[in-house]
Structure 1
């Protein structure tokens, strides 16, 4: 990743699709390259007070220098809803932007990991991760699932980014299956078109269960050169893609 990129926002096209593992992979590659990396989780939902959150998991897997969490809400719901139901103050986009800038002053790279998709509400005013990215002027790395349905959600996310003038780094498949079906194989060719941005990696399913040492050793092979890795989209497609009409 270019050293001029100090803050990157990581958003999924939905929930439970591998955002945390992709964030950890990006952090691991940057850390191995000698960069100081911090991860910011604006709103952690569905996790108890004594449980490890997503930001903590990124640090554990990647060896990133620091993590920060702005709000934690016990129910596995959209952040705004979870905060309201818990009777706690929500986390707004301006708070996210302020925290990210503070971390960027002390670290080479700050990864801001969203909750769910790009337009999930953070607060009662309708603030979203997209609003935080716009305030920061930061590019967004989109994490998408491999299989059927991903083209529509990826295209919608890309359209929302373009409408707000927010740059998109590209797309990473958050959990590439060990036995990809026809849809997943075809999507290797179709995802960049749907996103209007390059495919920048594919993280194998189950990677989050690796030991930290195994994870860090493998992460560079899952990500393309713009993210600091060695993964090659064309080579991966030749190995896995299903030819049209085949």
Structure 2
């Protein structure tokens, strides 16, 4: 993978921390990494954005964003309300393709979910992934309700003829309930794609040195990690699975 598009099933599912973990694992494997935030919303000019947060946690990556809007809204809405130019899918694709000529891996992080609108024409991260012909990694929640949003996202990716790289649980609770435990088996089934990792809740609060050391253990080998999905399912799943 030269370019990997990272989306979530919604907001607050751990997308940025997962992007940081993927970046840290790639760096540990000796790869050069760039992180592109398609559009940053809800952050002041003097505040650290998601791409900068990835760099803080992961280490020496080239981090950038195409646009920043002050209100925490969908990028298209935030751009309109701010009276600023929106970001179009072809701009995302062009920026990512350029970075791919200079780095081994480019991580393109979206805003919210796959179909969040970026411009008045209804352009989305899915459109950018299509222009890039890049695989899509879906970050999802652990608990009740995640199966529906994960399956809908996976179906849309396939409908567009895109490659669904896999699914990562963005925040695995220290004390998972029955739904979360059962979802370890159900998520890859409804997605039709492998479970490629599970980040522990609060991973983003770790010191950067600790985060970088542990990140490969949260992700599967396809993402330059050492995480074993079956071993995790046996350990964390419901007793009937053990």
> TM-score, length-normalised on structure 2?
0.98
Contact 1:47 1:75 survives alignment (8 Å): yes
User: SS of 2:112's equivalent?
Assistant: strand
How much has 1:54 moved relative to structure 2?
Answer: 0.2
How much has 1:242 moved relative to structure 2?
Answer: 1.1
Residue 39 of structure 1 pairs with residue 44 of structure 2: no
Unaligned runs of 5+ in 2: none
Residue 94 of structure 1 pairs with residue 90 of structure 2: yes
Q: Residues 143-192 of structure 1: CA distance to partner in whole angstroms, max 9, x if unpaired?
A: 00000000000000000001100001100000000110110000000000
Contact 2:4 2:106 survives alignment (8 Å): yes
Matched residues in 1 for 2:20 and 2:136: separation?
A: 15
Matched residues in 1 for 2:216 and 2:94: separation?
A: 30
How much has 1:59 moved relative to structure 2?
Answer: 0.6
Give every structure 1 segment of 4 or more consecutive aligned residues whose post-TM-superposition deviation is greater than 2 Å. 243-246
Residue 120 of structure 1 pairs with residue 101 of structure 2: no
User: SS of 1:100's equivalent?
Assistant: helix
Match of residue 23 from structure 1: 19
Match of residue 159 from structure 1: 155
Residue 205 of structure 1 pairs with residue 201 of structure 2: yes
Matched residues in 2 for 1:229 and 1:213: separation?
A: 17
CA gap of 1:107–1:245, structure 2 versus 1, over 3 A, is closer
Stretch deviating more after TM superposition (79-88 or 234-243): 234-243
Match of residue 177 from structure 1: 173
Match of residue 131 from structure 2: 135
Contact 2:118 2:124 survives alignment (8 Å): yes
Contact 1:154 1:195 survives alignment (8 Å): yes
Q: How does 1:164-243 map to 2 (within 5 A)?
A: 164-243=160-239
How much has 1:244 moved relative to structure 2?
Answer: 5.3
User: SS of 1:97's equivalent?
Assistant: helix
Matched residues in 2 for 1:150 and 1:66: separation?
A: 32
Matched residues in 1 for 2:50 and 2:20: separation?
A: 9
Matched residues in 1 for 2:88 and 2:12: separation?
A: 22
- What is the root-mean-square deviation of aligned Cα atoms in Å? 1.1
How much has 1:245 moved relative to structure 2?
Answer: 9.5
Contact 2:92 2:128 survives alignment (8 Å): yes
Matched residues in 2 for 1:63 and 1:33: separation?
A: 13
Matched residues in 2 for 1:97 and 1:245: separation?
A: 42
Match of residue 144 from structure 1: 140
Unaligned runs of 5+ in 1: none
